[in-house]
Amino acid sequence: MNKKMSINLQKCFDSLTCNAIDFLEKSVTELDNSPKYSVIHFCSAIELFFKARLLVEHWSLIFKKPENAQLSKFKAGDFNSVSMDEAINRLKNISGEKIENKAEQCFKIVRNHRNQLIHFFNEKYIVKPDNATLDEVIPEQYAAWFYLHSLLISKWQPIFKDYLEKIEKLNHLMQRHKKYLSAKHEEMKPAILNDKTNGIQYEKCYFCNFDAAKVDGSYDPLFSCTCRICNMRSNFLVIACPKCETDIKVEDLGLGECQKCGFVSDINFLLQELAPDEDPKEESLRAYCSNCEYSAEPTAIPFGDSYLCLNCLELLDEHGHCGYCNDLIAGSGYNLESSYCCGCVMCEGSLAQDRS
Ligand SMILES: [Zn+2]
Ligand SMILES: [Zn+2]
Ligand SMILES: [Zn+2]
Ligand SMILES: [Zn+2]
């Protein structure tokens, strides 16, 4: 990246990233006494990380309207910049970034909360927060950081490599949120235990790891749960081990291990077990998933009225053929109409073709 960027762009990237880190640090310290500013600054930090990432793609992409972008305005900092929604869309559509639905939802919760506090005065948010307020802020920040941090240290690692040490320090700071969640878990243990004795099932939460994800939906073999600690929702599959018939829990990527005999499931095993039998002469019903964008093979299978992706375990309520490559695609909130121009999981669409 460094070689590709001219000196000024590198400076701009550094300044966006330093600002993002500064806002996030600020947000953590503000939580104790002024939750309103914690929410606002936390959201700014996320947006700044997105902008830094977009800048690496092209400087005009951090303009609200890239078509009106001018280098002189960019240098002077004189422009309206991209919103969080637009930034996420550009990362997905232009940079080909995979930002899964759950992550996008978490970022949008933070953004909505920020907007609410900016437009409507809420006195609970200007004083030392009570437990109910902390209970709103901490889980949403914890979840958004969970996703942002994993982007920063994995897919975006080459881009933010000079900042990894600082990012780890931030992660350490954010552990305060974890401590809060841990105290909340201690408090909730008796209620959870009581539920369990009444036959309500709890699982370990995929996000916060506490044994507090209440199973609240089942469409055999798919189960969904909501964590009573971090409020996150997640899905899992239960499938019988082919060797010893013990139940195996699968959370994502098809991965799960039999606790009795050690058999390990993978995506191929799940497809073999759960995908409909098909006549090779007929068109396949299996679709590519636009949520996780797994492209090695179609991982979404018909499931009730919708589709279920066996890789990311999301239920996908829409499906149809890509207008450009004709592959069958399933997704949620997925805009098939634009697929001819913008492409799908499997193709880049006509616009990319025109550019080349
Ligand atoms: Zn949780
Ligand atoms: Zn087994
Ligand atoms: Zn998927
Ligand atoms: Zn396509």
Ligand 4: centre distance to CA 77 (Å): 38
Ligand 2: centre distance to CA 264 (Å): 8
Residue 3: what pLDDT? Answer: 47
Residue 356: what pLDDT? Answer: 52
Supply the DSSP string of 45-89, one letter for each residue.
Answer: HHHHHHHHHHHHH-GGGGBSSGGG--HHHHHHT-SPBPPHHHHHH
* Section 151-178 average pLDDT: 92
Q: In this structure, are residues 217 and 234 in contact, taking their beta carbons and an 8 Å threshold?
A: no
Strand order in the sheet with 328-331: 288-289, 328-331, 318-321
Residue 2: what pLDDT? Answer: 45
Please state the φ and ψ torsions of residue 321, each to the nearest 5 degrees: -90, 140
Residue bearing tokens 């149809």: 320
Rounded Cα–Cα distance for residues 250 and 237 (Å) = 5
* Section 250-269 average pLDDT: 91
Q: Does the pLDDT of residue 310 top 70, yes or no? A: yes
Residue 1: what pLDDT? Answer: 47
Ligand 2: centre distance to CA 201 (Å): 22
DSSP 169: H
Q: In this structure, are residues 215 and 206 in contact, taking their beta carbons and an 8 Å threshold?
A: no
pLDDT digits (tens, 9 = 90+) for 193-235: 999 999 999 999 888 889 999 999 888 899 999 999 888 888 9
- Residue 106: C-alpha distances to residues 33, 209, 233 (Å): 24, 17, 11
Ligand 3: centre distance to CA 64 (Å): 30
The residues near 45 (Cβ < 8 Å, ≥ 6 apart) are 20, 21, 23, 24, 27
Model confidence band, residue 354 (pLDDT cutoffs 50, 70, 90): low
Q: Does the pLDDT of residue 99 top 90, yes or no? A: no
Ligand 4: centre distance to CA 297 (Å): 14
Q: Does the pLDDT of residue 322 top 50, yes or no? A: yes
Please state the φ and ψ torsions of residue 345, each to the nearest 5 degrees: -55, -35
Whose atoms come closest to the Cα of 243: which ligand? Answer: 2
Reported pTM = 0.75
Ligand 1: centre distance to CA 230 (Å): 4
Please state the φ and ψ torsions of residue 300, each to the nearest 5 degrees: -95, 130
Ligand 3: centre distance to CA 56 (Å): 27
155-166 burial by CB neighbour count: b if 16+ within 10 A, else e? ebeebbeebeeb
Whose atoms come closest to the Cα of 244: which ligand? Answer: 2
pLDDT digits (tens, 9 = 90+) for 104-153: 888 999 999 898 888 888 888 888 888 888 888 898 999 899 899 989 99
Whose atoms come closest to the Cα of 98: which ligand? Answer: 3
